[in-house]
Amino acid sequence: MALTESELNDLQSLMQDERFDDAIVAARGMLRRNADVPLLYNVMGVAMMQTGRPDDATRAFQRAHAMAPDYTEVTHNLVAALIGTGRVAEAEAPIRAALRDRPGDPSLLRNLASALVLKADWPAAQEAAKQAMIAEPGHPAARVMLASIQREQGQLTEALETLAPLADVAEAQLVRGEILAAQGEPGAARAAFEAALALDPAEVAAWEGIAAVTTFAPDDPRLDRLRAALDAASGEARTRLSFVLARALADSGADAQVFALLDTAQAVRRQQAPAYSHAQRRKEIGRIRTLFGPEQVAALSAQGRTDVQPVFLIGMPGTAAETVARALAAHPQIHATDAPGAIPGLGRAVLAAPRVMTPDWVAARAGALASGASDAPRLFDPTPANADWAGLILTLFPKARIVHVTRDPRATALDLYAQDMPAEPFPWAHDLEDIASYHAQLDALIEHWQAQFPDAFVTCRYEGLRADPDPQLRALAEALGLAPHPAMMEALDAPGAFEDWTRHEDALAPFIRAMARQDRPL
């Protein structure tokens, strides 16, 4: 039986009313009578995306695309679903197939640029974005995407020029604000974020940008505006704004209200995050320690790269690690690796299949990671999660230097709890007791590495860096065999709203008690 116009109108009404579960049921009922209608699979996929079922949505879009490869909306939805579920390689194929039939389609070119960005193929992504802008010069999305890619490649002036015609586009003002903030122009950045908010009062990212470049005084009129925005928000927007208002109130000294906001927001994040297992983490660390014992590292490191001396940062994530990373990256003799974060990925692969770590594997992986090192001998990977894999690092690079960033654990806990950390890879960052467990186990692992490979480590204490930065930065540079450079000092930013943990000591009591249970009394 053919679908009637009334049925399709009812389905459209369900989608417009955001009754997505009902729309899925209705679409399935129609498909039982008409199994070859790609429109129904497309609608069902959109509804599934809206109800948090991206894998099911992807399958629905794939069915629709198989029936109608030329159905542009389906192609776009399929690509977005594949990208959203991390299946970037699969996303690229349908885009390129569609571009063979429609080579100048600006929307397809933007999708291709998005897929290439996720692959970190920046030159190809930039070219795709440029082609999209040429194909549709008046479309703001292409300009915003090109500017974002230029920003990632360090082409900040070019990115601002690309955005210049888009003064009335909120997303363009957001990107402009982020670039200006990166250039050390907080006033101009704040003006751009305010412009974005004026164009779209519901834009949470604009408030996040304002908070990042503003120190709020108690009488700042933006506090009342922010409270009003929070009162009017719901769902994800309300959670994000809770973090923003907590930071603003901490700036202004209204400490009594800060943790009520953070506790509410983190309760939402705990529900969304996968459960964190203390026992599983302990077991994982035990396996890592066994896999990279002194004998194993000594035997395999002969195949590593001894002609380079890369620098790796380790420690708890957060402000302390980010601050030291910025200072190191500013040194002209230190160059960021093309593959930051590659070490944890390699480590997990070895942990899953230890037999892959042969001498040939070590030589190949070290060579790939050190590509370009002849021009930049001090490659730098600023990923704190490298801490798990110090043994792997020293297997691949026997002369590597590992910078361990330390901070008072109470300050670290406050810093992390006050941030809207992503559930992946930080499922433990939404509960003070989980933060304590992770912190204690990581400290013990780093102490193990330091005892095993004492000559590889350099310690940088965050509190000392803040109290007297010049001698601390000088000592850090010299410990790495580098001459001190003023750019390291210039890279330091002002302390944030949550520097002083003592203002929130009572609220941090669950963390402090949990650290004591972990034999790490504070």
Does residue 133 contact residue 107 with C-beta atoms inside 8 Å?
no
Give the 3-state secondary structure of 35-86. CCCHHHHHHHHHHHHHCCCHHHHHHHHHHHHHHCCCCHHHHHHHHHHHHHCC
Range 119-140 average pLDDT: 86
Counted residue by residue, the chain has a size of: 522
Range 129-136 average pLDDT: 89
User: Is the pLDDT score of 485 beyond 80?
Assistant: yes
Of 271, 262, 215, whose CA–CA distance to 241 is shortest? 262
pLDDT value of position 7: 87
Q: Pick 2 or 195 by higher pLDDT.
A: 195
Question: What is the sign, positive or negative, of the torsion defined by CA atoms of 36, 38, 44, 45?
Answer: positive
- Residue 344 is part of which domain span? 279-517
Judged on CB neighbours under 10 Å (0-12, 13-18, 19+), 131 is: buried
User: Is the pLDDT score of 375 beyond 70?
Assistant: no
The tokens of 358 are what? 């042969």
212 occurs within a structural domain:
no
Please tell me the distance from the alpha carbon of residue 211 to that of residue 208, in angstroms, as a whole number. 5
Instruction: Tell me the backbone φ, ψ of residue 458, rounded to 5 degrees.
Output: -125, 130
CA angle centred on 504, ends 499 and 505, rounded to 5° = 110
User: Is the pLDDT score of 377 beyond 90?
Assistant: no
218 occurs within a structural domain:
no
**Each residue of 218-247: pLDDT tens digit?**
999 999 999 999 999 998 999 999 999 999
Range 268-276 average pLDDT: 91
User: Is the pLDDT score of 372 beyond 70?
Assistant: no
User: Is the pLDDT score of 376 beyond 60?
Assistant: no
pLDDT > 70: percent of the chain: 98
Total domain count, the chain: 1
The mean pLDDT value of the chain amounts to: 91
Of 189, 187, 292, 204, whose CA–CA distance to 240 is shortest? 204
β partners of residue 404: 314, 459
345 occurs within a structural domain:
yes
**Each residue of 81-90: pLDDT tens digit?**
887 777 877 8
Range 440-451 average pLDDT: 97
pLDDT value of position 27: 92
Q: What CATH number did the domain enclosing 328 receive?
A: 3.40.50.300
Of 109, 115, 125, 120, whose CA–CA distance to 82 is shortest? 115
68 occurs within a structural domain:
no
pLDDT value of position 173: 97
pLDDT value of position 154: 83
Range 66-70 average pLDDT: 85
386 occurs within a structural domain:
yes
Range 111-135 average pLDDT: 86
pLDDT value of position 1: 61
287 occurs within a structural domain:
yes
Range 256-261 average pLDDT: 94
User: Is the pLDDT score of 116 beyond 80?
Assistant: yes
461 occurs within a structural domain:
yes
91 occurs within a structural domain:
no
